[in-house]
A = this chain, B = another copy of it.
Amino acid sequence: MFFSIDADGDVPIYEQIVRQVKLAVADGILVGGQMVPSVRQLAGELAINSNTIARAYQELQSDRVLESLRGRGMIVRRDAIKRCTKARNSLVADGVRRALADALSGGMTAEELRELFEAELERQSAMAEQSKLASGNGAS
């Protein structure tokens, strides 16, 4: 799958997985009814202990994003996209809110902030475009 895990860093591994699954659902990459990789398989791919994956999946279950089919695996809940979009919005809004609060309380001007924001937005949009083109070869 499409996870990119940073085993160091301050964000726990299981949290990174939870977040990335939610964002993928919000983005429409993962859709309702779709199966997610099994705990063991994902643990193998990411070279991470399966307990850690299981914990992420459990949290996603209690957040009503995934659903367990006993003995067969786990799927994305049909109604997950609403919740994930909402979660994404909170996540982003919180991040923006905190960054702005730091900026303003540190004396950064609105204009400096706007420049920083626009530059970063352009940079990341370009990167996203690139990777879309790279993976979408031949589909035109």
B-binding residues in A (CB < 8 A) = 7-8, 12-13, 19-20, 22-24, 26-28, 59, 62, 67-70, 84-85, 88-89, 91-93, 95-108, 110, 113-114, 116-117, 120-121, 124-125, 128
Contacts known (A7-B69, A93-B116, A120-B93); A99 close to B99, Cβ less than 8 A: yes
Contacts known (A70-B12, A102-B19, A105-B23); A117 close to B120, Cβ less than 8 A: no
Contacts known (A113-B121, A120-B97); A128 close to B107, Cβ less than 8 A: no
Residue of B23, B91, B93, B99 near A95 (CB, 8 A) is B99
CB atoms of A26 and B104 under 8 A apart? no
Best-surrounded residue of A23, A89, A102 (most CB of chain B within 10 A): A102
Could you list 15 A-B pairs, sorted by A, with CB under 8 Å?
A: A8-B70, A13-B70, A23-B102, A26-B106, A62-B62, A88-B102, A88-B106, A95-B96, A96-B96, A96-B99, A96-B117, A99-B99, A104-B124, A110-B121, A114-B117
Q: Within the assembled complex, what's the spacing in Å between the Cα atoms of A59 and B62?
A: 9
CB atoms of A8 and B120 under 8 A apart? no
Best-surrounded residue of A84, A101, A103, A114 (most CB of chain B within 10 A): A103
Contacts known (A26-B107, A28-B107); A91 close to B102, Cβ less than 8 A: yes
CB atoms of A8 and B67 under 8 A apart? yes
